[in-house]
Amino acid sequence: MMEYDFLKITKEIESENGFKKIAEKLFNSYAIKNYESIYRLTEIEFYWTSKSHVDNSTYKRKYVNPKQGDWFFHYSGVDIALRNDEIEGHGGILIRGVCDINSKEKSISKRCFKGPMVCAMKLFSCTSAFNKSIETRIVKYDFPNEELKKTKRIGLGKNATESGTENLKYRFIIDIS
């Protein structure tokens, strides 16, 4: 059993509750460590599509086919990839908000970063292209449990409307202020 087996989507009918369980685990038991600091996730969105749960706003796997738990870079930011070949499903957890827990800044607004592209840049930029590899990874980290707020995803285009998934509450947020 891999440490990140909790990411596996098994029962799509319960996906909203399944997503909540995954979100709670990521928010309260894991952090993202890069070359400069450790970040707590503060906002994520789930995207999942399969034969029995069509969500056209989930990026197709045209150029790469990441395994569950891989980083997946796309036109909107970076995901933690989700995949279950048994039910022919794939998707991702879009990182929309992180907070630097090692920062000496007193202002929460200077320690926390919002927006998928901002988060991707903060987590993966400024690594030498010549003598270092990207070392950004998810690590175990025990945080105080925070209550999750569940809302609709934001910034969806016509693809979500076409598949009727625009109102699904697949966005999770914690308030650490």
91 domain-assigned:
yes
pLDDT single digits (tens) 13-35: 556 678 999 999 999 999 999 99
152 domain-assigned:
yes
Check: CB of residue 80 under 8 Å from CB of residue 138.
yes
Check: CB of residue 41 under 8 Å from CB of residue 77.
no
Q: CA 28 to CA 165: how far, in whole Å?
A: 27
Mean pLDDT computed over every residue of the chain: 90
144 domain-assigned:
yes
118 domain-assigned:
yes
For residue 60, give every residue at least 6 positions away whose Cβ sits within 8 Å of its Cβ, in sequence order, or none.
none
**Total count of domains within the chain:** 1
Regarding pTM above 0.75, the answer is: yes
**What number is the average pLDDT over the span 32-46?**
96
127 domain-assigned:
yes
29 domain-assigned:
yes
Q: CA 118 to CA 114: how far, in whole Å?
A: 6
Domain of residue 62 covers: 12-173
5 domain-assigned:
no
6 domain-assigned:
no
State residue 13's pLDDT score. 54
pLDDT single digits (tens) 67-103: 999 999 999 999 999 998 888 899 999 999 999 999 9
